[in-house]
């Protein structure tokens, strides 16, 4: 679609108004009122089209932003090597960084993930085998959380 903007639409409707004014006689007593009425109508029409166009552009921009976030989340959810403690901690921190970056879109998810990570001591050093097992749970939980974000479009 051609993006004419306010002034482009105003010009097009102005052309139509000029053509219409050729057919309205200046000698009638209602000619000025008719000119004022259709001019006001044209201005209202242009303003409403312009407002509608801007709202559609805003919604499309928001939709593109969500799609971009979903693509980033999908990239982050792709299989990774989580066989070592360092990889699991790194992955968990990467997910937290992603959620922090987009916390304006997912504030509750970020808060829950951060709390979960803090409660699971996901940034700590491996103390024993149970901590390694806990980190496996944390990293798989984070992966599923990111997979959920990457499929919010319903696919």
pTM of the model: 0.62
pLDDT at 154: 46
Average pLDDT over residues 89-93: 82
Average pLDDT over residues 101-126: 81
Average pLDDT over residues 83-90: 76
| Confidence at 150, pLDDT banded by 50, 70, 90 | confident
Give percent of the chain with pLDDT exceeding 70.
81
Q: Is the pLDDT of residue 99 over 60?
A: yes
The mean predicted confidence, pLDDT, of the chain is 78
42 Cβ partners below 8 Å, 6+ apart? Answer: 13, 14, 16, 17
CA distance 4 to 69: 30
For 7-62, the pLDDT digits (tens) are 776 777 778 777 777 666 666 777 777 777 877 887 787 778 878 888 888 999 98
For 60-80, the pLDDT digits (tens) are 998 888 888 888 888 877 777
Residue 135 or 124, more confident: 135
pLDDT at 30: 75
Integer angstrom CA distances of residue 37 from 21, 30, 43: 12, 11, 10
pLDDT at 140: 81
Helix ranges (H only) for the chain are: 5-23, 31-77, 85-101, 107-119, 129-150
């Amino acid at each position: 679609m051609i993006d004419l903007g306010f002034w482009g639409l105003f010009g097009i409707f102005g052309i139509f108004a000029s053509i219409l004014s050729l057919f309205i006689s200046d000698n009638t007593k209602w000619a000025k009122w008719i000119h004022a009425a259709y001019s006001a109508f044209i201005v209202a029409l242009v303003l409403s089209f312009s407002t509608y166009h801007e709202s559609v552009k805003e919604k499309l921009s928001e939709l593109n932003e969500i799609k971009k976030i979903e693509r980033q989340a999908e990239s982050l959810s792709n299989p990774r090597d989580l066989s070592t403690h360092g990889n699991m901690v790194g992955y968990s921190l990467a997910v937290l960084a992603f959620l922090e970056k987009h916390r304006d879109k997912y504030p509750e998810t970020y808060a829950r993930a951060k709390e979960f990570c803090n409660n699971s001591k996901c940034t700590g050093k491996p103390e024993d085998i149970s901590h390694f097992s806990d980190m496996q749970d944390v990293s798989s939980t984070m992966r599923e959380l990111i997979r959920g974000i990457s499929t919010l479009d319903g696919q």
